[in-house]
Amino acid sequence: MRNIINAFFVVILTLSSSTLVAAQLNPRIVLQTDLGQLVIELFPHEAPITVKNFLEYVDNDFYNDTIFQRVVPGFFIQGGGLTADFSAKATRAAIKNEAYNGLKNDYQMVAMVHTTSAEASGVDSATSQFIINMQNNPALNVNGKNSGYTVFGKVIEGIEIAEKISLQPRGMHEQFPEAPNAAIHILKIQRISNNKTTTDVKTEVATKATEKTHPGDISVGAPE
C-alpha cells in the first residue's frame, strides 16, 4: 500500500514539474505604452500559428508607434494595426483561427482579432491586431454560433496599465468613437527573458533600446 501511495506522489510531482517547466519555457514579451508597460506570457503550445505570427510582427518592429484604437471599459482594449492618424499598416497574409485551443477570453487574456464577416473567410482573417480582455468575455469564445477569437497570451504584469488605457476619455473621433481622445501609442513590443522581476524587465528593455539606437461594426460588440 505504501509503495502505491509513494508511486502516486511521484506521478503528481512529475506532472507538476513538467507543467512548471513548460510555463517557464513560454516566451514573454514586454509591451511599452505611453502610460506604462505590460508583460505578456505567450502560449505557443496551445496557439502555435498565432504565437509564431505575433512574434514575427514583434521581431520586425511592426508594432512600433501603432495605437489602441478601441477602448471599451469592462470589455476589452484593441490595438496593433493602426497609426495615430488611423491609417492601417500593411500586414502579412491572414492566419488560421485557433480559437478551439481550449483557452478562454477571460480577464487578462490576450486574443487575436479577426473580422466580424458572416462569411467563412472572416474566421481566418486575423493578421496583427489583438485585444486584451478587461473582463471574462464568454461571448468571444467558440460556441455554436461563434467561431471565437484565438487566445494566445496572458498579461502577467501591468494589468493596471491596461485598465488605465480602457478608462481613457473617448468620443472625439467621429469615425472611431471608441478611440481615446488622446492617442495611446504602443511604443514598442519586444521579447524578454523569462523569470525576470519588474526591475529586471525595465533594465533589459532599456539596454535593448540602447543597442537598437546605436548601430544602428458592432457598436460595443465584438472586436474587428
Separation of alpha carbons 149 and 146, rounded Å: 9
pLDDT at residue number 21 = 47
Separation of alpha carbons 41 and 154, rounded Å: 5
User: Per-residue b/e over 121-131, b at no fewer than 16 CB within 10 Å?
Assistant: ebbbbbbbbbb
For 27-213, give the CATH class. mainly beta
Tens of pLDDT along 133-192? 999 999 999 988 889 999 999 999 999 999 999 999 999 999 999 999 999 999 999 999
Is residue 123 very low, low, confident or very high in pLDDT (cuts 50, 70, 90)?
A: confident
More confident site: 201 or 105: 105
Q: What Cα–Cα distance (Å) separates residue 1 from each residue in 5, 9, 56, 70, 167?
A: 6, 13, 53, 60, 58
Tens of pLDDT along 179-212? 999 999 999 999 998 765 555 555 555 554 444 4
Q: Quick one: 13 exposed, middle or buried, by C-beta within 10 A (0-12, 13-18, 19+)?
A: exposed
Separation of alpha carbons 203 and 208, rounded Å: 9
What residue type is assigned to position 156 of the chain?
I
Separation of alpha carbons 162 and 181, rounded Å: 16
pLDDT at residue number 189 = 98
Is residue 1 very low, low, confident or very high in pLDDT (cuts 50, 70, 90)?
A: low
